[in-house]
Amino acid sequence: MASVLVVDDEPIVRDVVTRYLRRDGFETLEAASGEEARALLETTSPALVVLDVMLPGVNGLDLCNWIRTTSSLPVILLTARGDEADRIVGLELGADDYVTKPFSPRELAVRVRNVLRRSATAPRVASRLCVGAIEIDADAREVRNGEERLRLTAREFDLLWFLASHPNRVFSRDQLMRKVWGYEAALDTGTVTVHIRRLREKVEPDSAHPRHLETVWGVGYRFRP
C-alpha cells in the first residue's frame, strides 16, 4: 500500500486530505512544517508528497527543491489561487503537479493516483531508446548522457519518453496534457511549456538551440532523433 506524506500547517486541511486519501486506500503521514517534513523524509519512504507552498520556516518551494536534489520522489504542490509565480517556480523546481486552494479533496486524490501511476508504470513500446549520446531506459526509468545519469522527475521522464518514442510527430500542448498527464479537461497548458524547458536544460547540449526537443510554433512540440 502506497503512503503519502501530507505537508500543510493547517490541521483542517491535513485532516480532510488524509481522510480522502485513506478512503482511496493510501496510508498517510502528516507534517505541519517544512522542518518536520524533512525529518520524516530522512527516516521514512513515502511514495508521494502533497506539499503546501505557504509553510512557516522552510517553505514548500524550498522543501520541493531539497527533495528534487536528493530524489525523484513525486511532489504535488498546493498553492493559493492566483499565486501563479509560486506555481511556475514550483514546476521549474521539479514538482509533478499542482492543485490550487480551495480545492476538491476528490480531485486531489485522483491526481495522486494519476501521478503515482505515471511514475510507476514504464511505457512498453520498447525498453530503450538511444539518441546520440542520450540513452533512455524505460525499464530502469533512467536517462544517461554518456556515463552521466541525468536526474529527471517522474513527469519529465514520462514526457521525454513519450516524445522520443513518437519521433518527428508534432503534439499540441493539449495532446501532451492528455497523453502524459492523463487529464482530459482543459488545464493550464503552461505546465507543458515549463517541463519542456526543464528537459532542454537537462538533455540538450545547448538549451537555447535545442537539437531534439523542438518547438513547432503555433502547434506544439516534437522530438527530432
Q: What is the mean pLDDT of the chain?
A: 86
Q: What pLDDT sits at residue 56? A: 87
Residue 11 has pLDDT above 90, yes or no: yes
CATH number at residue 77: 3.40.50.2300
Measured between alpha carbons, how far is 43 from 5 in angstroms, rounded to an integer?
A: 12
pLDDT at 109 over 50: yes
Question: In terms of domains, do 21 and 90 share one?
Answer: yes
Residues spanned by the domain of 158: 128-223
CA distance 180 to 174: 10
Question: What is the arithmetic mean of pLDDT over 71-98?
Answer: 80
Residue 133: other Cβ atoms inside 10 A:
11
| C-alpha–C-alpha distance, residues 41 and 34, integer Å | 10
Which CATH number do you get for residue 193?
Answer: 1.10.10.10
Q: Are residues 36 and 96 in the same domain?
A: yes
Q: 167 and 101, same structural domain?
A: no
Residue-wise pLDDT tens digits, 181-190: 877 555 667 8
CA quadruple 188, 160, 153, 138: dihedral positive or negative? positive
**Using CA atoms, how far apart are residues 59 and 67, in angstroms rounded to an integer?**
12
Of 120, 143, 171, the last residue of a domain is 120
Residues in CB range of 110: below 8 A, 6 or more apart: none
Q: Give whole-number Cα distances, 144 to 136, 149, 200, in Å.
A: 7, 4, 14
Q: Report the domain count for the chain.
A: 2
- Cell numbers found for residue 17: 486530505
Identify whether residues 102 and 44 lie together within a single domain. yes
Band of residue 124 on the pLDDT scale cut at 50, 70, 90: very low
